[in-house]
């Protein structure tokens, strides 16, 4: 019979091994995707790589009529930027409204949560039917934009709620006591302090919109966004070209996350310095 201390250590090792195995399991496909995207011109969709080259990246750049990823890439980027800006404005307004504890703010909160809980396939499909009944043409810059904001907005809202929860209201009080109007106080005091959180909400909106598939699929109209173009290409033929696009997209997301984490960290640092 081994003592409970060594048994505890044994559990620790077992759980640790499991965690490491899972992390490998989770990351290995992503690294493989990156590795295979650099395979030679004769490379297939799996190992062996048949040499290393930038062939498939060139292939993405050199467009053919059948598969040209540049217009979808441009559309996805513009759409994501528009969603980010809309998310920033609306979520800041909504979070500021929650501070005012207006009548029915509980319902409002659940309405926003519903946007996160409701699956994209139901929202996208329902919205497509609604547009069909209203006789509205589907298009990436109108209908898809409307639906995607309903997905990015709740995340921005939760971010801004968290930001305002940590916010020190005494600085606002000081400004108001000194005779500044509420609007001036918000513009000159509150806004500069919450800017890192606002940027976080914007990056959230950007990356969620950029990667969104089900909501876009039902509401897109004739011109596809990047995830839809990738899926369409997948249906025709799988080549390392898709891996090249996947690698670029993943790198892009990773950079966005790093910026986001850094922004929040900087904000926490600046607020904690102020408290000290």
Check if the beta carbon of residue 126 is closer than 8 Å to that of residue 240: no
Alpha carbons 128 and 122: distance in angstroms, whole number: 10
Alpha carbons 106 and 95: distance in angstroms, whole number: 13
Q: Does 146 bind another protein (CB under 8 A)?
A: yes
Alpha carbons 235 and 251: distance in angstroms, whole number: 24
Alpha carbons 213 and 148: distance in angstroms, whole number: 10
Minimum CB separation of residue 120 from another protein in Å reads 7
Which DSSP symbol is given to 137?
Answer: P
Q: Which is nearer to another protein, 41 or 119 (CB)?
A: 119
Minimum CB separation of residue 236 from another protein in Å reads 13
Check if the beta carbon of residue 138 is closer than 8 Å to that of residue 131: yes
Alpha carbons 203 and 3: distance in angstroms, whole number: 50
Stretch that binds another protein, among 56-64, 77-85, 253-261, 268-276 (CB under 8 A): 253-261
Q: Does 154 bind another protein (CB under 8 A)?
A: yes
What is the pattern of x (binds another protein, CB under 8 A) and - over residues 160-199?
Answer: ---------x--xx--xx----x--xx--xx---------
The beta strand positions in the chain, using DSSP E, are: none
Q: Kindly give, in sequence order, each residue whose CB lies less than 8 Å from that of residue 197, ignoring residues fewer than 6 positions away.
A: 159, 160, 162, 163, 263, 264, 267
Minimum CB separation of residue 137 from another protein in Å reads 16
Q: Does 51 bind another protein (CB under 8 A)?
A: no
Q: Does 111 bind another protein (CB under 8 A)?
A: yes
Minimum CB separation of residue 273 from another protein in Å reads 20
Q: Does 133 bind another protein (CB under 8 A)?
A: yes
What is the pattern of x (binds another protein, CB under 8 A) and - over residues 202-241?
Answer: -----x--xx-xx--xx--------x--xx--x---x---
């Amino acid at each position: 019979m081994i003592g409970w201390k060594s048994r505890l250590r044994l559990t620790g090792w077992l759980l640790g091994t499991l965690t490491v195995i899972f992390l490998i399991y989770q990351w290995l496909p992503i690294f493989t995707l990156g590795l295979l995207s650099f395979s030679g011109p004769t490379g297939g969709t799996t190992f062996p790589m048949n040499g290393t080259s930038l062939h498939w990246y060139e292939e993405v750049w050199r467009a053919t009529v059948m598969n040209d990823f540049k217009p979808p890439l441009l559309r996805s980027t513009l759409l994501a930027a528009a969603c980010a800006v809309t998310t920033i404005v609306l979520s800041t307004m909504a979070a500021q409204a929650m501070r005012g504890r207006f009548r029915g703010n509980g319902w409002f909160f659940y309405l926003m949560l519903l946007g996160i809980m409701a699956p994209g396939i139901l929202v996208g499909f329902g919205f497509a039917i609604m547009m069909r009944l209203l006789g509205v043409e589907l298009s990436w810059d109108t209908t898809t934009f409307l639906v995607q904001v309903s997905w990015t907005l709740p995340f921005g809202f939760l971010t801004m709620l968290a930001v305002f929860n940590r916010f020190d209201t005494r600085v606002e009080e000081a400004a108001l006591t000194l005779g500044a109007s509420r609007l001036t106080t918000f513009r000159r005091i509150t806004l500069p302090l919450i800017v890192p959180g606002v940027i976080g909400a914007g990056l959230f909106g950007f990356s969620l919109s950029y990667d969104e598939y089900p909501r876009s699929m039902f509401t897109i109209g004739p011109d596809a966004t990047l995830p839809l173009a990738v899926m369409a290409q997948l249906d025709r033929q799988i080549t390392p070209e898709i891996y090249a696009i996947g690698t670029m997209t993943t790198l892009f997301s990773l950079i966005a996350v790093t910026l986001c984490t850094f922004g929040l960290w900087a904000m926490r640092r600046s607020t904690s310095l102020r408290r000290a």
